[in-house]
A = this chain, B = another copy of it.
Amino acid sequence: MTVSSQQLANAVRALTMDAVQAANSGHPGMPMGMADAATVLFRDYLKFDPAQPKWADRDRFVLSAGHGSMLIYALLHLTGYERPTLDDIRNFRQLGSPCAGHPENFELAGIEATTGPLGSGFATAVGMAIAERHLNAVFGNDLVDHRTWVIAGDGCLMEGINHEAVGLAGHLKLGRLNVLWDDNRITIDGAVDLSSSENIIARYDASGWHTVACDGHDADDIARALGEAQADPRPSLIACRTIIGYGAPNKQGTSATHGSPLGADEIKAARQVLAWESPDFELPETIVAAWREIGARGAAARDDWEDRLANHSDRDEFTRRMDGRLPEGFSLDAYQADLIASPQKVATRRASELALGAINDLLPETIGGSADLTGSNNTKTKAQAPLTADNYGGRYIYYGIREFGMGCAMNGMALHGGVIPYGGTFLVFSDYCRPAIRLSALQQTRAIYVMTHDSIGLGEDGPTHQPIEHVMSLRLMPNLDVYRPADTIETAECWALALARQDGPSLLALSRQNLPQVRDDASENLSAKGAYRLRAATAARKVVLIASGSEVEIALTVADTLEAKGVGADVVSMPCWSRFDAQPRAYQDDVLPDVLPSEILRVSIEAGTTIGWERYTMSRGLRFGIDGFGASAPAPDLYRHFGLTPDIIAPQILAALEQNGS
Known: A160-B163, A199-B207. A442 touches B429 (CB 8 A): no
Minimum C-beta distance from A114 to chain B (A):
6
Per-position contact with B for A590-611: 1 when CB-CB < 8 Å, else 0? 0000000000000000000101
Pairwise interchain contact A632-B101, C-beta atoms closer than 8 A = yes
Contact pick for A612, options B155, B611, B641, CB 8 Å: B611
Complex Cα gap A619–B602 (Å): 12
Q: Which residues of B contact A292 (CB under 8 A)?
A: none
Contact B632 A189 (CB under 8 A): no
Contacts of A378 in B (CB 8 A): none
Which among A461-469, A542-550, A652-660 touches the partner chain? A461-469
A94-110 vs B, CB cutoff 8 Å, 1 = contact: the mask equals 11110011101000000
Establish whether residues A372 and B629, one from each chain, have CB atoms under 8 Å apart when the complex forms.
no
Give every chain B residue within 8 A of A634 (Cβ-Cβ): 25, 93-95
Chain A binding surface SS class = loop
A29 at the B interface (CB under 8 A): no
B-chain residues with CB within 8 Å of residue A438 when the two chains form the complex: 431
CA distance A170 to B403 in the complex (A): 24
In the complex the two chains form, is B476's CB within 8 Å of A612's CB? yes
Q: Does A124 contact B (CB under 8 A)?
A: no
> Complex formed: what's the CA distance from A612 to B631 in Å?
25
Q: Min CB distance, A656 to chain B, in Å?
A: 16
Contacts of A461 in B (CB 8 A): 67, 101-102, 116
What's the Cα separation between A188 and B462 when bound, in Å? Answer: 19
> Which parts of A73-102 form the interface with B (CB within 8 Å)?
93-97, 100-102
Determine how close the nearest CB of chain B comes to the CB of A93; give it in whole angstroms: 4
Which residues on B sit within 8 Å (CB–CB) of A478? 468-469, 609, 627-629
User: Is the pair B632, A100 in contact by a Cβ cutoff of 8 Å?
Assistant: yes
Q: Does A460 contact B (CB under 8 A)?
A: yes
Q: Does A402 contact B (CB under 8 A)?
A: yes
Quick one: which of A163-177 are within 8 Å of B by CB?
163-164, 167-168, 170-171
- Chain B residues, Cβ within 8 Å of A472: 473, 476
Given contacts A155-B401, A159-B164, contact A199 B206 (CB under 8 A): yes
| Chain B residues whose CB sits within 8 angstroms of the CB of A102 once the complex forms | 461-465, 632
Contact at A633–B94, with CB atoms within 8 Å? Answer: yes
Q: Report how far A155 CA is from B468 CA in the complex, Å.
A: 24
Q: A93-B633, A202-B206 are in contact. Are A401 and B370 (CB under 8 A)?
A: no
A196 interface residue per 8 A CB criterion: yes
A93 touches B460 (CB 8 A): yes
- Docked Cα-Cα span, A157 to B439, in Å, equals 25
Scoring A residues 128 to 166 as 1 if CB is less than 8 Å from chain B, else 0, what string do you get? 000000000000000000000000001100111111100
* Residues A629 and B207 in contact, CB atoms below 8 Å apart: no
Q: How far is the CB of A27 from chain B (nearest CB, A)?
A: 9
- Cβ of A475 and Cβ of B189 under 8 Å apart? no
Instruction: Indicate which residue in B164, B373, B469, B638 contacts A477 across the interface (CB closer than 8 Å).
Output: B469
A249 at the interface (CB under 8 A from B): no
Q: Could you name 24 residue pairs across A and B whose Cβ atoms are closer than 8 Å?
A: A95-B632, A95-B637, A96-B633, A100-B463, A101-B464, A102-B462, A114-B463, A117-B464, A159-B163, A159-B401, A159-B403, A160-B161, A171-B197, A189-B375, A197-B207, A200-B206, A202-B206, A203-B206, A431-B438, A439-B464, A441-B629, A469-B477, A611-B615, A614-B614
